Amino acid sequence: MKYILAVAFSTFMMFFSNVSSAQEKHENGEGQHAVAAEKHGESHEEEKTGDVIIHHVLDSHEFHFFSYGDIHATLPLPIIIYSPERGLSVFSSARFEEGKEDYNGYRIVKEKIVPVDAAGNVDASVRAFDLSMTKNVVQMFIGIILLLVIMLSVAKKYKAQGAQSVPTGFQNAIEPVITFVRDDVAKPNLRERYQKYLPYLLTVFFFILINNILGLIPGSANVTGNIAFTLVLSVISLIVILISTDGHFWAHIFWPPNVPFLVKLILIPVELLGIFIKPAALMIRLFANMTAGHIVILSFVSLIFIFGKMNTGAGYGFSPVSLAFTIFIYVVEILVAFIQAFIFTNLTAVFIGQTFESGHGHDDKNGHHEEVFV
């Protein structure tokens, strides 16, 4: 299944990159398709490539497909703002007219929505909470709907057929993954208590996986490469870890056994920090991996245009090299999508497991070397 995805995405990539380089050739573009955001790179010739790339991996209030001259093919998304002073306001992001207009007392500045007063100055007295359906949020919901549809239909199949049946269709894709999470992630780390945590671990795994995979589709949002998204997941992990602690664990933190008194004084803050560093590492690892992957792919694609600006021939000359690199990194990214989902789940399970076994040995010895995993 992974390989099919890889082939599909690589083909996509090739197609889109070809389209973008072809369009570069005929500056008077003919019928344009919804091109991947790589196309974005050349639309703002005046922008720096680095800014374009960063803009692409960031969240935004609209789905931007491509721009051609002054025509911007975008899908505006709903903006939801709650302000204690002004109440709730909901409107389409198209009202901002690409940031040229203020609407309803709000102005959009570089994807940030700020409240303004009647005179058009930024109003500092108003607090505004941006709860908009941004690109990331919408795509996360698409991912969730997909996940629910797949899992519930599979679950229905299981229910209907009972234990005596042979798995068919999508069950064959899902079942090995579920058994993998159960037998290779939950059971070894949580031993006899694994059943309590298994639904959570499975949900985390598939939630991250589906968003990783959707994020790889050209032109889509970079959901798992968003620090807020990973922050929420790791905070939930932290809560789950803390819920599963016992007196034993805290005794171990505040009075590490088998060490001299002075070392205890050093170890206590270290152990305390460790509790928060572990989920923080989870957060940064997922975010950095996914974002870096996107940035690398975009960089390779942008290289064509950078060379092209210097000399058209150089742009064409470099495009096959760039494409080859892009495809290679793309396939690696698909692997990474699975690996990162696994690592997040596995380390969460490891950290939960550590709270059980504070009885023997030093926890950090088992946990710390895995922090280096990137």
d(CA 81, CA 96): 14
The residues near 296 (Cβ < 8 Å, ≥ 6 apart) are 329
Residue of 275, 249, 202 whose CA lies nearest to 194: 202
Residue of 167, 169, 166 whose CA lies nearest to 150: 169
Token readout for 56 is 């692409």
Site for another protein contains 5 (CB under 8 A): no
d(CA 235, CA 167): 36
Quick one: 142 or 314, whose CB is closer to another protein?
Answer: 142
Site for another protein contains 149 (CB under 8 A): no
- 44 and 69 Cβ atoms separated by less than 8 Å: no
Binding mask 98-117 for another protein (x = CB under 8 A): ------------x-------
d(CA 328, CA 296): 11
What stretch of H or E contains 356?
helix 312-356
**Interface region with another protein, contact rule CB under 8 A, candidates 69-77, 158-166, 342-350, 357-365:** 158-166
Quick one: 129 or 276, whose CB is closer to another protein?
Answer: 129
Residues forming beta bridges with residue 106, ordered by sequence position: 103, 115
Q: What is the CA radius of gyration of the chain?
A: 24
**Which of 7, 8, 22, 54 is in the footprint of another protein by CB under 8 A?**
54
Residue of 138, 84, 87, 128 whose CA lies nearest to 106: 128
**Which of 6, 36, 140, 323 is in the footprint of another protein by CB under 8 A?**
140
Site for another protein contains 369 (CB under 8 A): no
Site for another protein contains 131 (CB under 8 A): yes
**Phi and psi for 257 in degrees, rounded to 5?**
-80, 165
CB atoms within 10 A of CB 352: 25
What is the nearest approach in angstroms of another protein to the Cβ of residue 189? 17
Site for another protein contains 132 (CB under 8 A): yes
CB atoms within 10 A of CB 51: 10
What is the nearest approach in angstroms of another protein to the Cβ of residue 147? 7
d(CA 259, CA 267): 9
**Interface region with another protein, contact rule CB under 8 A, candidates 7-15, 23-31, 41-49, 232-240:** 232-240
**Which of 148, 251, 265, 324 is in the footprint of another protein by CB under 8 A?**
148
101 by DSSP, 3-state: which?
A: coil
What is the nearest approach in angstroms of another protein to the Cβ of residue 218? 20
Residue of 234, 232, 176, 217 whose CA lies nearest to 337: 217
Number of residues that bind another protein (CB under 8 A): 51
Residue of 130, 151, 147, 129 whose CA lies nearest to 139: 147
Binding mask 165-204 for another protein (x = CB under 8 A): x--------xx--xx--x---------------xxx-xx-
**Which of 114, 142, 217, 236 is in the footprint of another protein by CB under 8 A?**
236
**Interface region with another protein, contact rule CB under 8 A, candidates 12-20, 115-123, 145-153, 256-264:** 145-153
**Tally of helices (H runs) and strands (E runs) in the chain:** 12, 7
**Which of 228, 251, 272, 273 is in the footprint of another protein by CB under 8 A?**
228
What is the nearest approach in angstroms of another protein to the Cβ of residue 104? 17
Residues 274-293 that bind another protein (CB under 8 A): 291
Site for another protein contains 136 (CB under 8 A): yes
Site for another protein contains 147 (CB under 8 A): yes
Q: Which residues bind another protein (CB under 8 A)?
A: 54, 57-59, 80, 110, 129-134, 136-137, 140-141, 144, 147-148, 151-152, 154-155, 158-159, 161-165, 174-175, 178-179, 182, 198-200, 202-203, 206-207, 226-229, 231-233, 236, 291
